[in-house]
Amino acid sequence: MVATASSREAYGKALVELGREFPNIVVLGGDLNKSTFTTLFAQEHPERFFDFGPAEQNILGVAAGLAMSGKIPFVSTFVVFGTSRAYDQLRVSVAQPHLNVKLVLTHAGILTGEDGMSAQGIEDLALMCALPGFTVVVPADAAETVHAVRAAAETQGPFYVRLSRPATPLVHGDTGCSFRIGKAEVLRDGRDATIVACGSMVATALEAAQTLQSEGVGCRVINMHTLAPLDEEAVVRAAEETGALVTAEEHYVHGGLGSLVAQTLALHHPTPLEMVALHGYAESGKPELLLEKYGLTAPYVAQAARRVLRRKG
Amino acid sequence: MPEEHFSPMASVSGGQASAAPVADVWPTLGVPFLLRNPRDLGPLARHLRRQVLLTIAAANSGHPGGSLSAVEIMTALYFCLMRHDPRNPHWPDRDRFVLSKGHCTPILYSVLAECGYFPREELATFRRINSRLQGHAHIMAPGVDASTGSLGQGLSFGVGAALAGRLERKNYRVYVLLGDGECDEGQVWEAAMSAAHYRLDNLIAIVDRNRIQNDRFTDEVMELEPLADKWRAFRWNTLEVDGHNIEQVLGALKAAPQEKGRPTVIIAHTVKGKGVSFMENNPDFHGRAPTPTELERALKELEGVG
């Protein structure tokens, strides 16, 4: 049984710590603060916590005003509300003036489960990567979330961190994680193919690599925690050294990790690529059943690797 | 102030679309950027109206109507009321101004130039490539605190700036200028609700109630009335003034901070295109530059007013 932990809970706890360290951090919520665990910050630093109710457009505008006045606003709500609902505000009020706003959103992708497609953010990576200047990070587990949130506080400029609803497997063992913005992490080496994954799919990729190993196929697994700026060098190196790539993400197939890797390969080192991703909106259901139905489990990733190996020539 | 300071434009008429630098024809006013006596502001307001038209004409693009309707409001704010320092645009204690109706940059830039944030000649680069003076307000222009241009976002920014001021225990104030058509945007009311909830008495909104939006009269596009009652219902201290009467505008702006525990909105009743007969109340001049002939006529009209 793989150990799991809640990234959003890790975020809530980390934010309390950062709040002590950074007096300029303020936290803005939209009536989902129990779910995002920002209530922990609110308890510790009530004077620096502001709830605006479900009014995300206003929240992002307020965050811009706070950032322009030297504060470090962390905005937390669900992925769907914090990205698509307030996209024009992210664009004009935050990204265009390149303000120091931190967006840490939870309930990403189909792991959100029973709430169904309206609550399942599957377009957010495309949206956020389309905003020039935004750093976009998808932590692979709770440990990496803590590092990512600290990096967000320490880095000047707009920053997005994408978190899941349920507890997810811990992919970083006793060695800990060496998170650096824009620097991909090789979790496992191999010479036959590379699986590039982000978020909850990193653990799935490792599982698939294990299966492939038993078939004599050596798979490199890259945790591409930062989508913007993308570690293009790691992608190109994987293309050169393994000659076949698979991307795995819990996001729509257009505009997310797969698209970014495909763009990098097309521009710098054309290489066979298969993408494991969603191909449309999903539905209500238990997360594990949704992953199975929509093709996001380890056997599907392994199958994609076998496909790409056949194309490798 | 002697009248001749305000009429150096003869050489400009007809030349508005030329790419040539206009430094030699740009009006010079030479006023100190702080004027304590509102009676002195009449000639300044008239000068700013000309500057607005010249700026738009130089770009052959821009929004004259809502710039001209806001002249007295902007003049009162920047020359009489706000604490700001053009030599130090990021002075932490400055009063903040947010042009939520971000298309009305011609009056904002004209005022900022007159205050000394950047050379007056730079107005001729408005909307041109490589200029800091973007079509809609952007913080790359010295003195611009908020990037706007998509309607409805400025009041939220103002709420954030006001909250920051309170957290920092600073006594600066935040002024947000909204268009009336802009009040169609739902975000305005999200922001209004939150400003009242957080009792932001350091936040002052001004609605330029010129009754015309992009296509048509506001009454035809989307009924706003009773506008003052709407703000009152959102628990704002609500004042109404003649937005072209500087003393009334100043009076309301000065009364606003006396109101403790809630934000103030000033509904400034104005005339779109104010000061130029054929632009007044004319939806056609919401967002287009005057032709050379129209510019000449407009400048001539503005010379004649006392």
Q: What are the domain boundaries of chain A?
A: 4-169, 185-312
Domain A4-169, what fold?
Rossmann fold (3.40.50)
Q: Do A61 and B193 touch (CB under 8 A)?
A: no
> Does residue B160 belong to any structural domain of this protein?
yes
Cross-strand pairs, A219: A193
Q: Is it the case that residue B3 has pLDDT exceeding 80? A: no
Q: Is it the case that residue B24 has pLDDT exceeding 90? A: no
pLDDT, position A1: 65
> Does residue B153 belong to any structural domain of this protein?
yes
Mutate to test the interface with B, among A27, A69, A74, A102 (most CBs of B within 10 A): A69
Give the CATH number, domain containing residue B150.
Answer: 3.40.50.970
| 3-state DSSP of chain B | CCHHHHCCCCCCCCCCCCCCCCCCCCCCCCCCCCCCCHHHHHHHHHHHHHHHHHHHHHHCCCCHHHHHCCHHHHHHHHHHHCCCCCCCCCCCCCCEEEECCCCCHHHHHHHHHHHCCCCHHHHHHCCCCCCCCCCCCCCCCCCCCCCCCCCCCHHHHHHHHHHHHHHCCCCCCEEEEEECHHHHCHHHHHHHHHHHHCCCCCEEEEEEECCECCCCEHHHHCCCCCHHHHHHHCCCEEEEEECCCHHHHHHHHHHHHHCCCCCEEEEEECCCCCCCCCCCCCHHHCCCCCCHHHHHHHHHHHHHCC
Tell me the pLDDT band of B40, cut-offs 50, 70 and 90. Answer: confident
- Determine the distance in angstroms separating the CA of A6 from the nearest CA of chain B, rounded to an integer: 31
Q: Which residues of A touch B160 (CB under 8 A)?
A: 61-69, 71, 73
- Higher pLDDT, residue B32 or B175: B175
Q: Do A65 and B139 touch (CB under 8 A)?
A: no
pLDDT, position A178: 87
Mutate to test the interface with B, among A45, A47, A58 (most CBs of B within 10 A): A58
User: How do residues B204-234 score in pLDDT, each as one tens digit?
Assistant: 999 999 999 999 999 999 999 999 999 999 9
**CB interface of B with A, residues 159-188, below 8 Å:** 159-165, 167-168, 174, 186-187
Q: How many domains does chain B have?
A: 1
Mutate to test the interface with B, among A60, A68, A102, A131 (most CBs of B within 10 A): A68
> Does residue B23 belong to any structural domain of this protein?
no
The answer to whether A129 and A260 have CB atoms below 8 angstroms apart is yes
Q: Is A158 helix (H, G, I), strand (E, B) or coil?
A: coil
Cα nearest neighbour of A63 on chain B: B160
Phi, psi dihedrals of residue B91, rounded to the nearest 5°? -45, 120
| Residue B155 contacts A, CB cutoff 8 Å | yes
Chain A residues within 8 Å of chain B (Cβ atoms): 26, 47-48, 50, 52-53, 55, 57-71, 73, 88-89, 91-93, 96-97
- Determine the distance in angstroms separating the CA of A126 from the nearest CA of chain B, rounded to an integer: 21
pLDDT, position B36: 62
- Higher pLDDT, residue A251 or B12: A251
Distance CA A310, CA B52 (A): 67
Q: Is it the case that residue B12 has pLDDT exceeding 50? A: no
Q: Do B150 and A88 touch (CB under 8 A)?
A: yes
Q: What is the mean pLDDT of residues B52-75?
A: 97
Per-residue pLDDT of chain A (313 residues; tens, 9 = 90+): 689 999 999 999 999 999 999 999 999 999 999 999 999 999 999 999 999 999 999 999 999 999 999 999 999 999 999 999 999 999 999 999 999 999 999 999 999 999 999 999 999 999 999 999 999 999 999 999 999 999 999 999 999 999 999 999 999 976 688 899 999 999 999 999 999 999 999 999 999 999 999 999 999 999 999 999 999 999 999 999 999 999 999 999 999 999 999 999 999 999 999 999 999 999 999 999 999 999 999 999 999 999 999 999 7
Q: What is the mean pLDDT of residues B163-170?
A: 97
pLDDT, position A176: 80
Q: Do B163 and A65 touch (CB under 8 A)?
A: yes
Q: Which residues of A touch B193 (CB under 8 A)?
A: 53, 55
Q: Is it the case that residue B5 has pLDDT exceeding 70? A: no
Cα nearest neighbour of A72 on chain B: B164
Beta pairing class for A226-228 and A72-76: unpaired
Say what percent of chain B tops pLDDT 90. Answer: 81
Q: Do A61 and B153 touch (CB under 8 A)?
A: yes
- CATH architecture, range A185-312: 3-Layer(aba) Sandwich (3.40)
Distance CA A16, CA A129 (A): 28
Residues of the domain holding B130: 35-302
Q: Which residues of A touch B138 (CB under 8 A)?
A: 96-97
Tell me the pLDDT band of B32, cut-offs 50, 70 and 90. Answer: low
pLDDT, position B4: 33
Distance CA A192, CA A189 (A): 10
pLDDT, position B306: 42
Q: Just list the catalytic residues of A.
A: 56
> Does residue B13 belong to any structural domain of this protein?
no
Q: Which residues of B touch A157 (CB under 8 A)?
A: none
Tell me the pLDDT band of B15, cut-offs 50, 70 and 90. Answer: very low
Tell me the pLDDT band of B25, cut-offs 50, 70 and 90. Answer: very low
Of A61, A71, A97, the CB nearest to B187: A61
Q: Do A65 and B161 touch (CB under 8 A)?
A: yes
Of B138, B139, B164, the CB nearest to A65: B164
**CB interface of B with A, residues 71-110, below 8 Å:** 92, 96, 98
> Does residue B4 belong to any structural domain of this protein?
no
Distance from the first to the final alpha carbon of chain B: 12
Q: Do A69 and B159 touch (CB under 8 A)?
A: no
Of A26, A50, A65, the CB nearest to B158: A65
